[in-house]
């Protein structure tokens, strides 16, 4: 049942978004009926000082008032341009996850509670916090090693953050349910499923052991890669609420002038960044999904060090093949093959015509080949591609959307370092090598081996599958003869659930209505 508190918090959030001009900044001219009326009212209620700000500034102002849960909501929605649109996704991606630090004593309490050992036993010295975000803050510290004291970074979960997120998630779910119920056109975007994904993503990000595991996995994958690495994890000093890793001495990639002053080859770093990202994506199927310049450092020898792996993306072999063949197809101008890959992967229903789809793909690819290489954006290409595939009933693929968002960020960082950056020339060696290794004769042998293993596994399960099939056949015969029946307890449970759903919906609507009346009275 939805609590009254969740409804009041949702009304408060809507009021703040309205006053800060976020609602008024949305493209309301395309709306009609009651939504357009509400948009016009929102424009009248916008603060005077907010009316002259850009939409990204309005979002930042609203989120600063709403708190850390809404920072994470905004950053999450930035990964879903299919839900909020590309322009708004870009604005949301600019939200800065910077919060006030919490006292060192609370950090000590969290560390000791998570690891079961005193801070004095774990660290030679634990310094004041150096950075703070919505979920955690980072301290510098010293640990004892055989060669002497070593500097480390200690990430500690913010006190009470799980309870605060759980409370705000209740409001997010209420908003999603109301949206599905009262805005039928939004149902195809599956707002409840989107909120469930946010809840799951946040839970994972709040368990620092999982971030440590992601760092460890990427560390193993990139052990022999030139010019890229991640910090080493100190597992002895890592738990659910604390992550200890090596301290990175380097220049943040956001400090372009600092990199240039240090004598770094910026075009070389840009090329290394893109090739590393594509290598992780295609070769490993596991990539850092939050590679903004604040999370990337450059060491003295030019090595890129990526930190903050709370968000990571995975691609299966089918998705990797899909991506590689699409990119290579555009490079070689083989639009028919690009179209066929969509059908082979099952992303576009077979009721559509391959040739017609290839024609739509050509409409994207040909204008690109008429431009200079420096102006061609792979991220923009993927954006246009997803817009075209939507016309052919391609279902949303969250893993591909996350990949697209990350590629937008990574490509933007590369172009900041090198305005004349040639995305296609830089990516071709990595993409071409992966295709040669996985789609050529060697790849066919690998597919054949996997097929043999799958057949052997199926053969081992044959007796169990036969037994299940026999049971299912008997149950279907019984249903055909007697019909589908619920026992008394199941029927009562269904009735109670339906009654709860109806009652909670009415309560939420009444609470929201009363809150709006109260707000109107305060304004008079």
Instruction: Identify which has the larger pLDDT, 492 or 13.
Output: 13
C-beta separation of 275 from 425 below 8 A: no
> What's the confidence (pLDDT) of residue 157?
94
CA–CA gap between residue 111 and residue 397 (Å, rounded): 38
DSSP 97-156: -------HHHHHHHHHHHHSS-HHHH-SEEEEEEEE-SSEEEEEEEEEETTEEEEEEEEE
Instruction: Identify which has the larger pLDDT, 59 or 481.
Output: 59
Mean pLDDT of 151-172: 91
pLDDT over threshold 70, residue 98: no
The backbone torsions φ and ψ at residue 339, rounded to the nearest 5 degrees and listed phi first, read -65, -45
Q: Which residues pair with 138 in a beta bridge?
A: 131, 155
pLDDT over threshold 70, residue 234: yes
pLDDT over threshold 90, residue 275: yes
**Statement: the pTM of the whole predicted model exceeds 0.75:** no
* CA-atom Rg of the chain in angstroms: 26
Segment 16-28, tens digit of pLDDT: 888 888 888 877 7
Give Cα separations from 370 to 223, 326, 328, 412, 517 (angstroms). Answer: 39, 19, 17, 21, 58
> 290 an active-site residue?
yes
> What's the confidence (pLDDT) of residue 468?
76
Q: Which residue out of 168, 225, 234, 290 is catalytically annotated?
A: 290
> What's the confidence (pLDDT) of residue 515?
56
pLDDT over threshold 70, residue 53: yes
* Secondary structure element (H or E) that encloses residue 47, with its range: none
SS3 396: coil
Mean pLDDT of 292-310: 92
pLDDT over threshold 70, residue 309: yes
Q: Can you point out the beta strands (E) in 377-430?
A: none
| From 97-106, 290-299, 398-407, 413-422, the region with the lowest mean pLDDT | 398-407
> What's the confidence (pLDDT) of residue 319?
84
C-beta separation of 280 from 323 below 8 A: no
> What's the confidence (pLDDT) of residue 502?
56
Residues 6+ apart with CB under 8 A from 278: 427, 430, 431
Give the model's confidence band at 149: pLDDT under 50 very low, under 70 low, under 90 confident, else very high: confident
pLDDT over threshold 80, residue 97: no
């Amino acid at each position: 049942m939805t609590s009254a508190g969740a409804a009041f918090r949702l009304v408060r959030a809507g009021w703040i978004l309205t006053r800060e001009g976020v609602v008024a900044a949305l493209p309301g001219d395309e709306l009609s009926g009651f939504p357009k009326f509400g948009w016009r009212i929102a424009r009248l209620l916008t603060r005077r000082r907010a009316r002259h700000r850009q939409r990204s500034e309005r979002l930042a102002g609203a989120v600063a008032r709403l708190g850390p849960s809404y920072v994470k909501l905004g950053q999450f929605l930035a990964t879903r341009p299919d839900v909020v649109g590309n322009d708004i996704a870009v604005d949301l991606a600019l939200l800065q996850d910077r919060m006030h630090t919490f006292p060192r004593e609370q950090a000590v309490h969290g560390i000791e509670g998570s690891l079961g050992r005193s801070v004095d036993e774990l660290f030679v010295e634990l310094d004041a916090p150096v950075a703070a975000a919505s979920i955690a803050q980072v301290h510098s510290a010293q640990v004892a090693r055989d060669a002497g004291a070593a500097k480390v970074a200690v990430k500690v979960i913010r006190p009470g953050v799980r309870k605060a997120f759980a409370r705000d998630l209740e409001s997010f779910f209420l908003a999603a349910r109301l949206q599905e119920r009262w805005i039928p056109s939004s149902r195809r975007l599956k707002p409840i499923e989107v909120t469930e994904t946010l809840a799951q993503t946040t839970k994972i990000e709040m368990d620092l052991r999982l971030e440590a595991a992601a760092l460890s996995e990427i560390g193993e994958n990139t052990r022999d890669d030139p010019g890229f690495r991640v910090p080493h994890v100190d597992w002895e000093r890592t738990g659910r609420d604390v992550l200890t890793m090596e301290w990175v001495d380097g220049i943040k990639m956001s400090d372009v002038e600092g990199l240039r002053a240090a004598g770094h080859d910026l075009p070389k770093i840009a090329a290394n960044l893109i090739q590393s990202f594509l290598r992780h994506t295609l070769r490993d199927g596991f990539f850092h999904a939050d590679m903004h310049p604040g999370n990337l450092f450059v060491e003295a020898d030019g090595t890129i060090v990526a930190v903050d792996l709370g968000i990571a993306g995975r691609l299966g072999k089918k998705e990797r093949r899909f991506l590689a063949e699409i990119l290579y197809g555009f490079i070689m101008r083989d639009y028919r093959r690009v179209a066929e890959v969509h059908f082979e992967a099952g992303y576009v229903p077979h009721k559509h015509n391959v040739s017609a789809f290839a024609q739509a793909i050509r409409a994207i690819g040909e204008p690109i080949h008429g431009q200079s290489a420096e102006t061609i954006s792979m991220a923009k290409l993927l954006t246009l591609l997803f817009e075209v595939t939507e016309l052919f009933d391609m279902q949303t693929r969250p893993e591909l959307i996350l990949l697209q968002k990350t590629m937008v960020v990574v490509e933007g960082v590369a172009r900041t370092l090198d305005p004349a950056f040639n995305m296609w020339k830089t990516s071709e060696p990595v993409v071409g090598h992966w295709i040669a290794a996985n789609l050529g004769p060697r790849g066919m042998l690998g597919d054949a081996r996997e097929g043999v293993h799958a057949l052997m596994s199926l053969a081992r399960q044959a007796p169990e599958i036969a037994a299940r099939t026999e049971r299912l056949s008997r149950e279907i015969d019984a249903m055909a003869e007697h019909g589908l029946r619920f026992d008394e307890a199941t029927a009562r449970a269904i009735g109670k659930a339906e009654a709860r759903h109806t009652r909670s919906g009415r309560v939420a609507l009444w609470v929201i209505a009363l809150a709006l009346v109260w707000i109107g009275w305060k304004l008079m």
